[in-house]
């Protein structure tokens, strides 16, 4: 933790923006969706412009990483974003991290530099700094927290939405449980916990509520929530590991060996919740069992669907296409993830098998299995399978709570 941040937390009075230690700030941030990714809107910096006192940034919501970063002016090799880079030199509260306090990084022009790599091949090189972050609130004013550590990205590569002309995402919001993640830095001001409820714009009609990432005092509670323990892994301390015991298809247990999901003695394997992953990934042996169970259900209940023989042409392992005289109704199964402490998360059919447009195939196109085979030893519960689940992650009690909810109607 930076000296800037420690000095702020040690302050016995109030912050520069009126966040008192005697009250719990109401902090929340608007969320959006772009392609298969979810992002969070935050205000960064403090400026003299009366119309724009903060600079809005749009960060990929990632519970599988620690560092928060956004692309900044002067970026030498950066992906396209449809908003201006963060103007760090004009912010009154931007403070580069000095080299003598650099946490494991290197110097760049007398400032601390950082390099971050991600499992999907993306990389970021940037300048470590501290800045004021502004969160929206349901109270009468926004909440500004000064001195939070982030990185000004100077070089990025491999970002998956980089080729989209309308890409709004400017960086990554690290919401893991490591020292420099946002939730860890917020500490008692965020009560060490956060909540979200993801919507899927492809499968719902009508008006939407505003998706929000909520912290601490801003978090409500559903009447009944399932709770499972977050496990620690010293090899990957930032990840939210859980004990996945088995999976059901349409309420029938598959009896997949627990060892396929559990963390091994050498800390390999295991199962994590990762909002930065669009889909869920299941290790190969378990995926084969799960796929067969889903294929059996689809085959028994959909005589007007036939297997597509080239699903890999679309990036999926299993797809079905309708016959031309097919009726309009289809039936797909739920799947249930069975976690420790008898915490069962039911994933609805539209988050298991979903339609994609395909030339020459009657509307709505192919129906494809929206779960993937893992290419590593880790099982991942991704964002698409978290849709319509109220999630609360508490890094102090090390608990993950969830309950089914229509997130398009959510009010918090």
What is the distance of C-alpha 69 from the center of its chain? 15
Give CA–CA dist 394/397, Å, rounded: 6
What is the distance of C-alpha 266 from the center of its chain? 27
Coil, strand or helix: which one is 58? strand
| 153 CB neighbour count, 10 Å cutoff | 27
Give CA–CA dist 128/114, Å, rounded: 6
CB of 211 closer than 8 Å to CB of 196? yes
Predicted pLDDT of residue 263: 96
CB of 209 closer than 8 Å to CB of 406? no
Question: Cα angle vertex 335, ends 36, 366, to 5°?
Answer: 55
Predicted pLDDT of residue 201: 64
Coil, strand or helix: which one is 404? strand
Rounded to 10 degrees, the C-alpha dihedral 78/82/86/90 comes to 130
CA dihedral (293, 297, 300, 306) positive or negative:
negative
User: Could you read off the pLDDT tens digit of each residue along the chain, which spans 412 residues?
Assistant: 333 333 333 332 333 333 434 345 677 888 998 888 899 999 999 999 877 899 999 999 999 999 999 999 999 889 999 999 999 999 999 999 888 888 766 887 778 988 888 877 889 999 999 999 999 876 657 889 999 999 999 999 988 766 678 899 999 999 999 989 999 999 998 999 999 999 986 444 444 567 889 998 788 766 789 999 999 999 999 999 999 999 999 999 999 999 999 999 999 999 999 999 999 999 999 999 999 999 999 999 999 899 987 777 678 999 998 887 777 789 999 999 999 999 999 999 999 999 888 777 767 788 999 999 999 999 999 999 999 999 999 999 999 999 999 998 876 6
Predicted pLDDT of residue 103: 76
Report all structural domains of the chain as residue ranges with CATH numbers, in order of start.
3-190 (2.40.70.10), 226-409 (2.40.70.10)
Rounded to 10 degrees, the C-alpha dihedral 273/278/283/288 comes to 130
Give CA–CA dist 354/345, Å, rounded: 19
């Amino acid at each position: 933790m930076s000296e800037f941040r420690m000095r702020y937390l040690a302050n016995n009075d109030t912050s520069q923006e009126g966040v008192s230690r005697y009250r719990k700030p109401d902090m929340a941030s608007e969320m959006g969706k772009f392609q298969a990714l979810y992002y969070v809107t935050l205000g960064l910096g403090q400026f003299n412009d009366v119309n724009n006192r903060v600079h809005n940034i749009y960060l990929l919501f990632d519970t599988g990483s620690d560092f928060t970063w956004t692309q900044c002016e002067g970026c030498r090799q950066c992906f396209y974003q449809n908003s201006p880079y963060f103007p760090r030199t004009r912010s009154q509260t931007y403070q580069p991290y000095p080299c003598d306090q650099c946490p494991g990084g290197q110097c760049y022009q007398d400032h601390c530099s950082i390099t971050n790599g991600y499992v999907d091949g993306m990389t970021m090189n940037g300048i470590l700094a501290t800045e004021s972050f502004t969160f929206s609130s349901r109270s009468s004013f926004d909440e500004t927290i000064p001195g939070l550590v982030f990185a000004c990205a100077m070089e990025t590569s491999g970002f998956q939405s980089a080729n989209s002309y309308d890409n709004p995402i400017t960086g990554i919001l690290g919401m893991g449980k490591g020292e420099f993640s946002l939730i860890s830095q917020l500490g008692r001001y965020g009560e060490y916990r956060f909540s979200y409820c993801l919507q899927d714009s492809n499968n719902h009609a009508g008006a939407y509520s505003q998706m929000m990432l909520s912290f601490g005092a801003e978090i409500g509670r559903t009447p009944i929530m399932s709770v499972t323990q977050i496990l620690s892994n010293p090899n990957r301390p930032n990840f939210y590991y859980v004990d996945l015991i088995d999976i059901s298809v349409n309420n029938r247990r598959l009896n997949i060996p627990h060892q396929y999901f559990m963390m091994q003695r050498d800390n390999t394997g295991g199962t994590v919740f990762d909002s930065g992953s669009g889909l869920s990934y299941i290790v190969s042996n378990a995926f084969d069992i799960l796929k067969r169970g889903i294929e059996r259900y689809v085959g028994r209940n959909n005589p007007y669907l036939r297997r597509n023989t080239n699903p890999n042409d679309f990036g999926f392992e299993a797809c079905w296409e309708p016959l031309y005289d097919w009726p309009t109704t289809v039936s797909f199964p739920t799947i249930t993830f069975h976690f420790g402490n008898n915490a069962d998360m039911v994933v609805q059919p539209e988050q298991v098998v979903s339609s994609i447009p395909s030339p020459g195939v009657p509307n709505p196109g192919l129906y494809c299995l929206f779960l993937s085979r893992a290419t590593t030893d880790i099982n991942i519960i991704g964002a698409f399978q978290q849709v319509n689940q109220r999630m609360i992650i508490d890094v102090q009690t090390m608990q993950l709570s969830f309950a089914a909810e229509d997130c398009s109607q959510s009010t918090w």
